[in-house]
Amino acid sequence: MAAVLPPILDPLTDAAAATWSDALAAKAGPEARLQDKHGRAITDLRLSVTDRCNYKCVYCRTGNEGALYSELPLEEYARMVRLFVSLGVEKVRLTGGEPLLRRGLLELIREIAQMRPAFSAEPLDIALTTNGHLLAGMAKDLKRAGLNRVTVSMDAVDAETFARITRVPGSFERVRDGIRAAQDAGLGPVKVNAVLLRGFNDAEIEAFAEFSRREGVIVRFIEWMPLEEDRSWTPEAVVRMDEIVARLSAVRPLVALPANHTSETARRFTFDDAVGEIGIIAPVSHPFCGHCSRVRVTSDGKVRTCLFSQSDHDLVGPMRRGASDDELRARIRKIVDRKEARHHIGEPGFRKPSRSMVHIGG
Ligand code: SAM
C-alpha cells in the first residue's frame, strides 16, 4: 500500500483566504482571541525557562559551555503564561535550553495547571520538550505537578552515534530510561524527536521505525533548519521528507494518518499492521507556515513570533515598569499582529535569525 501524503493547504498563498483573513481582522476587538494579521489564531505558546543546556548536540551548539541569555523569576513566567492563556492560548510547551535543569520547574507547572483556557472548555494542554537526561528521576513528579505529556529529543538509537551527537558519554541509556519512565508515569503518548543529518545519523531511519514499534513511542523526524549556533547548515545535509518516506516504506508499507488538528506540523504515518507511529516535520521541504499557531517567549522574557524572526519584543521590561495586565495584553496583540507570514529558508537573501534554536526555545 503506497503512502498518500495529506494535501498542504497554505492560507497565506491563497487569494480567497486573504479576504477571509481581512474579514476576521475587522471583527477582532479587545475581547477577541489572539490572532495575527493573516488570520492565524495563536493557540500555542512555547516558553523557554532556561537558556542552559547539559547537551552540546553537534547540529545545535558550538560545543562551548554556558548560557547567553538570562532567566526570569518563575513568577514572571507564570504571569506571562496567564496573559497568553487569557488571550486564547490553549497549549503551553515548556522548553529551553534544557527545561529540566530549571530549579522550581515543578512549582511553575503546578501554577500553570491551575489556569483555564479563555476560549475553550478543554483543560489547558501542558507539554514539555526535553533531552531526557534527567527525566527518569523526575517523570513522576512532573506528572503529579500537572504536566500532560513530554517530547524527548533523541537523535539516534545507536548508543555510540548518540553520544557523538550529544557529546555526552552514556547519554543514550539515560534518555532511553527517561522515555520509559515518562511512559510509566502517564506522560504519554511520548513523542521522540530526531533531527537527521546526512552522513551522521541518516542510517538510523529504519532503526527508529523499529524503536517506535518496539517502545510504543511516536517517532518524529525533523528536517534540520538553519538555526544552529555556528554556520554548519547546508541544504545538502538536510534529510528531506520524501527520502524518509521512501526509506520507511521499504521497511513496511506506510499508511498515512489524518492530522490531529489543523495546525499539526507533522505528517503522520503508521505501518500496514498499525504498529508504531511516525511523524515527519518538514519545515524545509514542505513549509507549513500558513498553519502556524505559535508564539514563543525566550528565557529572558522576549516574545518571538517566528523561529526565523530577525528581532524580538520585550515583555518583561514593560512588566517590571509596572504595566497592567490590560496594557500587556494590548502589547502582545500588537506584537502578534505583525507575525511573519512565513520563513524564507532556501531562498536567495535568506538571513539566519538573530538567535539560534537553543536560545529561542524549540
Ligand atoms: N533541551 C530540550 C531538548 O533537547 O528537547 C529543548 C530545547 S531543544 C533546542 C528543542 C528541539 O530543537 C530539539 O528537539 C532539537 O533537536 C531541536 N533542534 C535544535 N536545533 C535544531 C535545528 N537547527 N533544526 C531543527 N531542530 C532543531
| Cα 56 to middle of ligand 1, angstroms | 11
How high is the mean pLDDT of the chain?
Answer: 91
pLDDT band at 19 (very low <50, low <70, confident <90, very high): very low
Our answer on whether the CB atom of 36 is closer than 6 Å to any ligand 1 atom is no
Average pLDDT over residues 210-219: 97
φ, ψ (nearest 5 deg) of residue 255: -125, 125
- For 217-265, how does the pLDDT look when each residue is reduced to its tens digit (9 = 90+)? 999 999 999 999 888 899 999 999 999 999 999 999 999 999 998 888 8
User: 10 Å Cβ neighbour count for 91?
Assistant: 20
Closest C-alpha residue for ligand 1 atom 5:
130
Percent of the chain with pLDDT over 70: 92
Q: 265 in ligand 1 pocket by Cβ < 6 Å? A: no
CA of 88 to the centre of ligand 1 (A): 26
% of the chain residues with pLDDT over 90: 80
* pLDDT for the residue numbered 26: 42
pLDDT at 224: 95
Select from 94, 153, 225 the residue to mutate for testing ligand 1; criterion: most ligand atoms less than 8 Å from CB: 153
What cell was used for 340?
Answer: 511573519
Section 157-185 average pLDDT: 97
At 11, is the pLDDT very low, low, confident or very high (cuts 50, 70, 90)? very low
Buried b (16+ CB within 10 A) or exposed e, 291-329: bbbbbbbbbbbbbbbbbbbeebbebbeebeeeeeeeebb
Q: Is the CB of 129 under 6 A from ligand 1?
A: yes
Average of per-residue pLDDT across 170-192: 97
Contact between residue 131 and residue 138 where contact means Cβ atoms under 8 Å apart: no
Q: Report the nearest atom of ligand 1 relative to the CA of 226.
A: 23
- Per-residue confidence (pLDDT) for residue 13, from 0 to 100: 35
Distance 191 CA to ligand 1 centre (A): 13
Mean pLDDT, residues 317-335 taken together: 98
Could you write out the DSSP letters of every residue in 311-328? Answer: --EESHHHHHTT--HHHH
* Atom of ligand 1 minimally distant from the CA of 95: 6
- The answer on pLDDT for 9 being more than 50 is no
DSSP state string for 265-293: -EEEEEETT---EEEEE-TTTS--GGG--
Q: Which among 32, 11, 65 is positioned nearest to 229, based on CA atoms?
A: 65
Residue 362 alpha carbon, nearest atom of ligand 1: 10
Q: Looking only at Cα atoms, what is the longest distance across the chain?
A: 61
Most informative mutation of 167, 175, 193 for ligand 1 (most atoms within 8 A of CB):
193
**27 C-alpha vs ligand 1 centroid, how far in Å?**
37
pTM: 0.91
Query: Quick check: CB of 53 below 6 Å from ligand 1?
Result: yes
Distance of CA 289 to the CA centre of its chain: 14
- 135 in contact with ligand 1, CB cutoff 6 A: no
- Scanning the structure block, which residue is given the C-alpha cell 553537534? 58
235 or 1, greater pLDDT: 235
Q: What angle do CA 251, 252, 258 make, to 5 degrees?
A: 120
Q: Which residues contact 176 (CB under 8 A, 6 or more apart)?
A: 154
For residue 16, the model assigns a pLDDT of: 36
Strands ordered across the beta sheet of 149-153: 254-257, 266-271, 277-281, 218-223, 191-196, 149-153, 125-130, 91-95, 44-48, 294-297, 302-304, 313-314
State whether the beta carbon of 166 lies less than 6 angstroms from ligand 1: no
Q: Is the CB of 175 inside a 6 Å radius of any atom of ligand 1? A: no
Report the separation in Å between the CA atom of 184 and the middle of ligand 1, taken as the mean of its atom positions. 24
Chain centre to alpha carbon of residue 313:
20
